[in-house]
Amino acid sequence: MKKTLFVFLVWVLIPFTAYAKSDSLKIDLEFKPRESVKVHPKNVPPGKIFFEPVQDARPNSRAIGENLEDKGQKVSILASNEPGSFVRSVLIREFRNKKFSVEDNAGTASKIVSGTLVKFWTVETSNYDSQTQIKIEVKDRNGRVHYSRTYPGVGKNRGRSLSDTNYNESISNSLTSLIDKIFSDQEFLSSLSETPALPAAGGKPDVIAVESQPAPAKKSKKRSPAPPASSKTQPVFGPK
């Protein structure tokens, strides 16, 4: 009887345990966009660029989202690899696909592109909704910042619950959306050129113009004054 009861409990509880949700899910970040980058830059600067490692400004770099399908149990979504490194690899890939000259070493580049990950978050309910924000700076070799802007990206997807593939598709779609905005930004593209373009109205110029000084006035030549007349009486010559 006890053996029969034990077998029954195992038969009932094992499937329940197998399908019970854990409090977290760890996924490997992979670039699997369902929507490709659509924007083609109007002009690709000829200069060579280098992408610095992307910094992560978020409190917990491995936390990338949450599943809220079950109101009684939230499932945290964690990345097994670094999101900053993943985003950098995607940027390099897409810039090279658009024929930008991306260098492997900073020493051979004329401009340095740095990135800071501000937001990298996906919420799963009945859909997958991803939001990514990254601050991009363009610097010269001396570290002087020529341009800075934060770009947002959004991605959506539908699929199975707690699916690694669906998470990666939604996240990747948010990155292609973000990169479209970068390639549409003419000021960003101009900042990658060897000679930075003039700033937009109201902005501060990258090069401070030196005010021209008025030419010194020409000095007029003064004539030497006539010698003063002598006080002595000069002899008068003539007939007596």
* β-pairing verdict for 55-56 and 48-51: unpaired
Q: What angle do CA 157, 160, 161 make, to 5 degrees?
A: 100
Helices (H), the chain: 2-19, 83-97, 164-184, 186-191
Cβ(43)–Cβ(107) under 8 Å? no
Class of domain 21-28+44-191: alpha beta
The residues, ordered by sequence, that sit 6+ positions from 89 with a Cβ below 8 Å of its Cβ are: 31
Reduced to 3 states, what is the DSSP secondary structure of residue 5? helix
Instruction: List Cα–Cα distances, 126 to 72, 74, 185, in angstroms.
Output: 15, 14, 34
Task: Provide the pLDDT for residue 22.
Answer: 85
CA distances 190 to 174, 193, 199, Å, are 25, 5, 10
Distance CA 140, CA 43 (A): 20
Give the model's pLDDT for residue 167.
Answer: 98
Helix (H, G, I), strand (E, B) or coil at 190: helix
Which pLDDT belongs to residue 213?
37
Calpha distance 65→155 (Å, rounded) = 13
What is the 8-class DSSP label of residue 146?
E
pTM summary value = 0.73
Which residues, in sequence order, are CB contacts of 200 under 8 Å at separation 6+?
A: 187
The tens place of each residue's pLDDT in the chain, 240 residues long, gives 555 544 444 454 544 444 456 899 999 999 999 999 999 998 999 999 999 999 999 999 999 999 999 988 999 999 999 999 999 999 999 999 999 999 999 999 999 999 999 999 999 999 999 999 999 999 999 999 999 999 999 999 999 999 999 999 999 999 999 999 999 999 999 999 855 444 444 444 333 233 333 444 455 555 555 555 544 444 444 443
What are the structural domain ranges in the chain? 21-28+44-191
**Whose structure tokens read 């990135």?**
115
Note the pLDDT of residue 121: 98
Helix 164-184 crosses helix 83-97 at what angle (to 10 degrees)? Answer: 50
CA atoms within 13 A on the CB side of 27: 23
**Other CB atoms within 10 Å distance of the CB of residue 189:** 20
